[in-house]
Amino acid sequence: MLISIFLGTLLFTVAHFLPSYKNLILNGNNVPDPCCPRRTWGRVGHSAPNSRDLNNFGRDFQRNGHKFTEELCLADSDRDGVPNGVELGLNTTRHNIQTLCQFVASYTFNAKLINFLERKSLLGRPIGHPGICDQNSCPPNLRYRCGRC
């Protein structure tokens, strides 16, 4: 009995202090839920808001050492034809996506960088989900099927 309580407490403590990866992803706290328009997707790298399974963006993020690199920014993890950086809100009206991704990846990812990007109108709200194929350009076999909202 005591061992169960100890292990339960230890598990809760470890889970509570696991890093929140969404703070390491551009607009990671604002990624829309493609099925429920007013909601955000709680775990961007996961195949469902409360799932432990990774989606393609989560697998790419993991392969990149949990860093939002230029390569990850330029990649199209969900294969909908839209680069991750664009889905996550980078504004390509003045600079191309390669320049923006290179710029973002060259700085330490923190609130100061995000504020700079927003102030310069280089970052807006996400337009889609980088790991869930939710754009009209999605091949039918990859399109995410929504459950209930």
Site residues for Ca ion per CB under 5 A: 76, 78, 80, 82
Using alpha carbons, list the distances in angstroms from residue 95 to 64, 98, 102, 123: 24, 8, 11, 11
33 has which bridge partners?
Answer: 36
Nearest distance in Å: CB 35, Ca ion: 17
Helix (H) / strand (E) containing 108: none
Nearest distance in Å: CB 99, Ca ion: 19
**85 versus 111: smaller Cβ distance to Ca ion:** 85
**31 versus 122: smaller Cβ distance to Ca ion:** 31
Contact, 93 vs 147, CB < 8 A?
A: no
| Cα–Cα dist 52/74, whole Å | 25
**4 versus 96: smaller Cβ distance to Ca ion:** 96
Residues with Cβ within 8 Å of residue 122, at least 6 apart in sequence: 90, 91, 94, 95, 100, 116
**22 versus 110: smaller Cβ distance to Ca ion:** 22
Nearest distance in Å: CB 76, Ca ion: 4
Nearest distance in Å: CB 142, Ca ion: 10
